[in-house]
Amino acid sequence: MLNKKLMGASALALALTAGAAIADTSDKRIALSNNYAGNSWRQAMLQSWEKVTSAAVAEGVVAEAPAFTTAENQVTEQAAQIQNLILQGYDAIVINSASPDALNGAVKQACDAGIVVVSFDGIVTEPCAYRIAVDFKEMGRLQVQYLAERLPDGGNLLEIRGLAGVFVDNEISAGINEEVDNHAQFQIAGSVHGDWAQDVAQKAVAGILPSLPEIVGVVTQGGDGYGAAQAFAAAGRPTPLIVMGNRYDELLWWKEQKDANGYETLSLSIAPGVSTLAFWVAQMVLDGQDVPQDLTVPFLQITQDTLEESLANTQPGGVANVEYSREDTMDVVAEN
């Protein structure tokens, strides 16, 4: 079964099923094209990529696997980056995309040049590419379902969205709003963009709070829960039930509140280590393995019962994580 260990809980596994798999891709070059690195999740994602790919290079699995991040979350800049990677002759490009469709032209150019393209998290819709994602709509729906269990009388909700225009933000928000429509006791009283960063979220929430009625719950996308809690505290308002997003500062704040007054919530997010799954998918495709064009992976949930263990295994400033070995990736492929 898929290895669910948190980052740092064990040594990286690089066992391969056959020696031929190394030989078949030992001269291949895989690049990561990343559109954004301005929050703890993205930093953890890049760290996971570096950790797993550097070991794979050392083992002779691939020749190289560098990561490239654009300076801004701009489609034009990332498209130019992908075109440069095509010209540099990479065998595969792994993409965390700024847009689900605006990069399709550059992705098609890569495919036409015989390059394997694997998108994850921020996926692309170009048919020639591979896609790895969680069910982000389900992640949004689950938050509202959890609130409905905890707050049967309902009330006003505050929605904190992610980075505007990105596939992940749109999907999670759609799931939240669809599920709110199924629970008449809830109303979304306000919505702000927190950009998946606690400082941005804190400012955005602080700005909208004076215009809001009593808030009983906050639905989020990750990296924004702690900032929301700080904004409510600074405004002298009661702390609502805030869904967290697996960041260390969120988990630490949650534990402090749990110890002080029994505060209970839920935390969930896609694991940053999904970048390592994308790497192994690219390697497997280059190796001639049969891999589905679309893969779905579970998101990582932390509950009241698993909080202490998750916090202990999450680095300060980081995100609760799962990293993938090649064997884990084979399991994901088989399950899909």
Q: Which domains does the chain have, with CATH numbers?
A: 19-134+271-298+320-335 (3.40.50.2300), 136-269 (3.40.50.2300)
Report pLDDT for 166: 84
* In the predicted structure, residue 21 carries a pLDDT above the cut 70: no
What is the average per-residue pLDDT within 58-73? Answer: 94
Mind listing the pLDDT tens digit for each residue in 268-290? 999 999 999 999 999 999 999 99
Mind listing the pLDDT tens digit for each residue in 247-273? 999 999 999 999 999 999 999 999 999
Q: Specify the 3-state DSSP secondary structure of 239.
A: coil
Please classify residue 268 by burial: count the beta carbons closer than 10 Å to its beta carbon, then call 0-12 exposed, 13-18 middle and 19+ buried: buried
Q: Helix H segments across the chain?
A: 19-25, 40-58, 75-87, 104-112, 136-150, 167-181, 198-208, 225-234, 248-261, 274-286, 307-312, 326-335
Mind listing the pLDDT tens digit for each residue in 216-238? 999 999 989 999 999 999 999 99
